[in-house]
Amino acid sequence: MTPIAAALSPALGDELLARLVEIGEHGAVAVHSVPALERLLPRSREPIVLVGGPWPASQALVTAAGQRRAPVLLLSDALPGSALEAALQDGVRAVLPVDINARTLRAALDAVGQGLTVLAGGLRPVLGAATEARAAEKLTPRGLTAREREILALIATGASNKTIARRLGVSPNTVKFHIVAVFAKLDAATRAEAVAKAARLGELSL
Amino acid sequence: MKEGTSLASWSAARARVVSGVVPSVACIATRRNRHLSGIVWGKEYVVTAAEPLAGADQVEVSFGEDPVVADVLATDMTTDIAVLRVPEHAAPAWKRSSLPVDAGSIVALVGRGARGPSAAWGGVALAGPAWRSRRGGTLARRLEFDVRFTPGLEGAAAVDVEGGLIAMAVAGAGGKVLGIPAETVDRVLTLVQQHGRVPQPYLGLRLQPLWLDEAAAQRLGQGASGTAVIAGIDPASPAAGADVALGDLLLGIDGERLTGIGAVASLLAGTAPGTALTLDLLRAGTPRAVEVRVGERPRRSRP
């Protein structure tokens, strides 16, 4: 295993290298650019890349390592939840806090060396935030489904839940379920308010 | 006359006003066990507030005796009026108000709850001209009441000091108590009798809001910065048969400048199906006037 410290800032690269040396990786080397990393990777035996620096600038280093199938440990405090998925796909095998202590870095390096993926405990809220962001995305009016729009259009004609259910060939409970979802998405308390808001947002034909 | 006697007669007069209307006021129970009031309107119709029914197609109606199941014949989202058919009931006993209704006039809301008739006295807080609600409904008068309102009084009769019917009381936005004027109820009921429903005006245009910078707004002669762009045209709709294209800006209708989708929705809601409208469009920088006949919103969903 050859650990490589990679950061676009030389100072940070050297700091990462120092940390690797500190945990006993005396064969570790540092690179400060994507081409340097690309040159180094084929010449290293079982390279493992420790990437630092602000995201998304550091993503280029991750991608370069990923393309050569080198596992990546990413030091990042502020990785957006949406970036995490992309990072994992790019070959990131560990996401670790910037101020990680020597013992934990050692453990993470060994775990990744064994083919495991490591996520620091503090990342859980970040993942939660990503889920929330996705939920919030769904809650925007743009998130109305075709079925929900259909139901809104029928509500606008004054149709009862049962009538809507009959016309769509679904159960009245399904209709009610959809209506609750529409109310939540449009932040509406009443049927009339939902219809009016949907019309203003361009979700309902006039 | 002694003071006590005049107070007693005043009290009796108030009770008399209420009791004169009570026989024509129904208690309406929804399946969700919510109770509200309704007013007998014509021989077999009871009208009530649409929103509390929450899409029910049957409710229980009672006049203090055993409740009967009534069909919700039609609801109009824009005026918040629901029309129920109650076949066995007698004609309404109320008369229309012939007193002037102004801010400060005394008003009574007469309803019927699960435990019997209820009344709340108060005043007219606001009496204005015809208006278009945010829901798009056109109401013959703007009426707001200053009265202690309870959910059971939704759909109650608002009467003057002679027991003359002014309006149906409904809950408005921001805790206001609104009156749906009797004339507006008449209009909606006539539509229901003619069509079995309240036809909703429809063009088949899907609009998206657009914000104009000052220069563009000035060039287009738009006073305000908002307008709407045509983002979709429903198949087989009135718009589909007219010379309307995706991407046209809808600047106005019938010469009236419209500053956004809300304004278009509101104008359209006040237009009866069958009416011809002129859309003032801007296509590729060139204004054009396109005539389109307002249709009725389809009651079947499109595939």
Q: Do B57 and A163 touch (CB under 8 A)?
A: yes
B246 within 8 A of B263, measured Cβ to Cβ: no
**Residue B2 pLDDT:** 56
B230: enclosing H helix or E strand? strand B226-233
Which residues in chain B have Cβ-Cβ distances shorter than 8 Å to A175? 55
Place of tokens 């990342």: A123
Among the listed residues B208, B202, B214, B293, the one whose alpha carbon sits nearest the alpha carbon of residue B250: B208
B236 touches chain A (CB under 8 A): no
Question: Which ipTM was obtained for this model?
Answer: 0.82
End-to-end CA separation in angstroms for chain A: 66
Q: Specify the pLDDT at position A137.
A: 44
Tokens of B123: 């005043």
Q: Is the pLDDT of residue A87 over 60?
A: yes
User: What integer pLDDT is reported at residue A127 of this predicted model?
Assistant: 55
* Percentage of chain A modeled with pLDDT above 90: 15
CA dist., res. A52 & res. A61, Å (int) = 9
Token pair, residue B223, equals 């006073």
Q: Taking chain B (303 residues) in consecutive chunks of 10 residues, what is each chunk's mean pLDDT?
A: 77 95 94 90 91 90 90 90 86 90 96 94 95 81 95 95 96 90 94 89 90 77 77 92 91 86 84 92 90 91 55
pLDDT value at position B263?
83
Q: Calculate how close chain B gets to A184, using CA atoms only, in Å.
A: 15
Q: Mean pLDDT across the stretch A115-130?
A: 66
If one compares B222 and A54, the residue with the highest pLDDT of the two is A54
Q: Does A137 touch chain B (CB under 8 A)?
A: no
Give the tokens for residue A99: 């101020």
- Written as one string, the DSSP assignment of B204-222 is -EEEEEEE--HHHHHHTT-
How does pLDDT run across A3-32, given as a tens digit for each residue? 999 988 887 888 888 889 888 888 889 998
Residues of A in contact with B78 (CB under 8 A): 192
**β-strand pairing of A2-6 with A29-31:** parallel
Q: Are B144 and B176 in contact (CB under 8 A)?
A: yes
Candidates A156, A175, A196; nearest CB to B297: A156
CB proximity under 8 Å: A 145-164 to B:
150, 153-164
Query: How do A118-119 and A92-96 pair as beta strands?
Result: parallel
Instruction: Quote the pTM value.
Output: 0.66
Answer yes or no: are the C-beta atoms of B170 and B302 closer than 8 Å. Answer: no
Q: Do B177 and B171 meet the contact criterion of CB atoms below 8 Å apart?
A: yes
Residue A141 with chain B: CB contacts under 8 Å: none
Do B248 and B230 form a contact (C-beta atoms < 8 A)? yes
Q: Are B210 and B229 in contact (CB under 8 A)?
A: yes
Q: Which residues of B touch A163 (CB under 8 A)?
A: 57
CB of B150 closer than 8 Å to CB of B135: no
> Which of B51, B54, B204 minimises the CB distance to A205?
B204
Q: Do A153 and B297 touch (CB under 8 A)?
A: yes
Half-sphere exposure for B33 (CA within 13 Å, toward CB)? 0
- Position A204 scores a pLDDT of 87
A168 touches chain B (CB under 8 A): yes
* A193 lies within 8 A of chain B by CB: yes
Distance to chain A for B161, nearest Cα, Å: 33
Q: Give CA–CA dist A14/A35, Å, rounded.
A: 17
For residue B70, the chain A residues in CB contact (below 8 A) are: none
Residue-averaged pLDDT of chain A: 82
Compute the C-alpha angle A194/A196/A197, nearest 5°: 65
Residue of A162, A191, A205 lying closest to B77 (CB–CB): A191
Q: Does A22 touch chain B (CB under 8 A)?
A: no
Q: How do residues A126-184 score in pLDDT, each as one tens digit?
A: 555 555 444 444 444 457 888 898 999 999 988 999 999 999 988 988 999 899 889 98
Inter-chain contact A205–B134, Cβ cutoff 8 Å?
no
Q: Does B77 touch chain A (CB under 8 A)?
A: yes
Closest by CA position to B153, among listed B117, B122, B189, B183: B117
Report how far residue B39's alpha carbon sits from residue B17's, in angstroms, rounded to the nearest whole number: 16
pLDDT of residue B169: 97
Label residue B260 left, alpha or beta by phi (over 0 means left) and psi (-120 to 50 means alpha).
left
Which residues, other chains included, contact B227 with Cβ-Cβ below 8 Å and sequence gap of 6+?
B209, B210, B212, B220, B249, B250, B251, B258, B259, B260
B77: chain A residues, CB-CB within 8 Å: 155-156, 158, 191-192, 195
Q: B299, A201: Cβ pair inside 8 Å?
A: no
Give me Rg for the CA atoms of chain B: 23
Give me B192's structure tokens: 């229901």
Structure tokens at B66: 């055993």
Which residues, at least 6 apart from B290, have a Cβ–Cβ distance to it below 8 Å? B242, B243, B244, B278, B279, B281
pLDDT for res B301? 65
Tell me, yes or no, if B268 comes closer than 8 A to chain A by beta carbon.
yes
Q: Give the pair of three-digit tokens for residue B63.
A: 């006049």
